[in-house]
Amino acid sequence: MFTLRSLADSDRIRTAFGESSSVVVIGAGWIGLETAAAARAAGLAVTVLESAPLPLQRVLGRRARWGTSPICTAATGSTCGRRSP
């Protein structure tokens, strides 16, 4: 488990990308989604966990929508879907 608060944290995470085949990112804010995108670019399978119904919803408010928004596609390589109950 890693936190991302400094450049040294980023270096440790990047090193771990080379030792893993998958990653779980907790939080779908800007930093979480950037981390998810970097992990995908490194060839890892990525799962993003978010308590809000949509990525970046706390930041974008009503501008965040279901479907094929560029936010969902860039972070996950697919469209956003509804959470399971």
Structure confidence at residue 51 (pLDDT):
86
Q: Which pTM was predicted? A: 0.69
Q: How far apart are CA 54 and CA 66, in angstroms?
A: 7
Mean pLDDT per 10-residue segment, the chain (85 residues):
91 92 91 91 91 79 59 51 43
Domain ranges of the chain: 7-76
Structure confidence at residue 84 (pLDDT):
38
CATH number of this structure's domain 7-76, picked from the four choices 3.40.50.300, 3.40.50.620, 3.50.50.60, 3.40.50.2000: 3.50.50.60
Number of Cβ atoms within 10 Å of the Cβ of 49:
11
Structure confidence at residue 61 (pLDDT):
75
Which CA distances in Å does 8 have to 11, 55, 73? Answer: 5, 26, 28
Phi, psi at 80, each rounded to 5°: -80, 150
